[in-house]
Amino acid sequence: MSKEAPLISVSNLSIGYGDYVLMKDISFSVSRGEIFFIMGGSGCGKSTLLHVLTGLIPPLSGKISIDGANFSKAGEKMRHKIMQNCGILYQSGALFSSMTLSENVALPLQQYTDYSPGLIKELTSLKLALVGLAGFEDFYPSEISGGMCKRAGLARALALDPEILYCDEPSAGLDPVSSRLLDDLILDLNHSLGTTFVIVSHELASIFNIGTDSIFLDGDTKSIMGRGKPGDLLRNPPNDVVRRFLTRGAKK
């Protein structure tokens, strides 16, 4: 039996801004159903890579394929269609402060579907309940905690039932308890819905608790210096750079 083709395939990708190159000629793939972490030190290009993967900025060179479609060369209409199968959880949650949680989550449904207002309201409540926010439909972002805002952002990212969910530092700014609750929620969604997660993070607890595959970006060499299951990389680090990153804070 032939191996299933990767859901996301990145080939010889270079990213950066103008003449400034952050990563050069990197290649990796993400299998369907993975919780895939992009890790590395500050400034190495993790978030920039995520922005390239989601089409927010163009790559300097190389190819990105999503479910067999050439995303990096797609026209605006095709790229728009591909991204309807992808959700994005931004680092801050990126909720509109003047809108209730229900109104925030309803936005993608209003923009990309022809559902009736009644069905949109029903689906919005369902998505909020899915992330543990049942009963908070009429709350504003300023009225809830940071962890709840992250979960509301996740509900909005899930509004269109995407196959891929990109997350930029989802645990940033959260206390350890809220961070673990968010990790548990990501695991639940992965297991129950089969959602593939691509997560930018440097949070070791999250990486080891829920990561099924990963790459390590190194800013000095502008390359991928490690790839594989986080636990395997910890047990058998490919180099000192990866070892130091994965064991930082460990007792001597």
What domains appear along the chain, each with residue ranges and CATH number?
Answer: 1-85+162-171+194-252 (3.40.50.300)
Question: What is the spatial distance between Cα 106 and Cα 21, in angstroms, rounded to a whole number?
Answer: 38
Is the per-residue pLDDT at 118 higher than 60?
Answer: yes
DSSP 141: G
Q: Is the pLDDT of residue 84 over 80?
A: yes
Distances (CA, A) of 187 to 10, 179, 190: 24, 12, 5
Angle at 187 between CA 39 and CA 37, to 5 degrees: 10
In our burial notation (b when 16+ CB lie closer than 10 A, e otherwise), range 125-154 reads bebbebbbbeebbebbbeebeebbbbbbbb
pLDDT value at 53 more than 90: yes
CB 105 within 8 A of CB 139: no
Pairing of strands 35-40, 196-200: parallel
Q: Tell me what the mean pLDDT of segment 90-94 comes to.
A: 73
What pLDDT band is residue 252 in, cutting at 50, 70 and 90? very low
For tokens 């080891």, name the residue: 208
152-165 pLDDT tens trace: 999 999 999 999 99
| 2 pLDDT above the threshold of 80 | no
CA 50 and chain centroid, separation: 8
| Section 20-47 average pLDDT | 94
pLDDT for 248 beyond 70: yes
164-168/213-218 β-pairing? unpaired
Asked if 64 and 53 touch (Cβ cutoff 8 Å), the reply is yes
- How sure is the predictor about 212, in pLDDT bands with cuts at 50, 70 and 90? very high
Are the beta carbons of 174 and 150 closer than 8 angstroms?
Answer: yes
Q: How far, in whole angstroms, is CA 142 from its chain's centroid?
A: 24
Q: How far apart are CA 167 and CA 182, in angstroms?
A: 12
CA 14 – CA 155 distance, rounded (Å): 32
**% pLDDT > 90, the chain:** 69
Integer Cα distance of 125 and 103 in angstroms:
10
For residues 227 and 88, give the distance between their C-alpha atoms in angstroms, rounded to a whole number. Answer: 23
pLDDT band at 223 (very low <50, low <70, confident <90, very high): very high
Average pLDDT value for the chain: 91
Per-residue pLDDT at 200 exceeds 60: yes
pLDDT grade for 179, boundaries at 50, 70 and 90: confident
| Residue, of 5 and 92, whose pLDDT is higher | 5
Average pLDDT over every residue of 13-21: 93
More confident residue, 10 or 5: 10
Angle, CA of 46, 28 and 245, to the nearest 5°: 45
The whole-number average pLDDT for the span 214-227 is 96
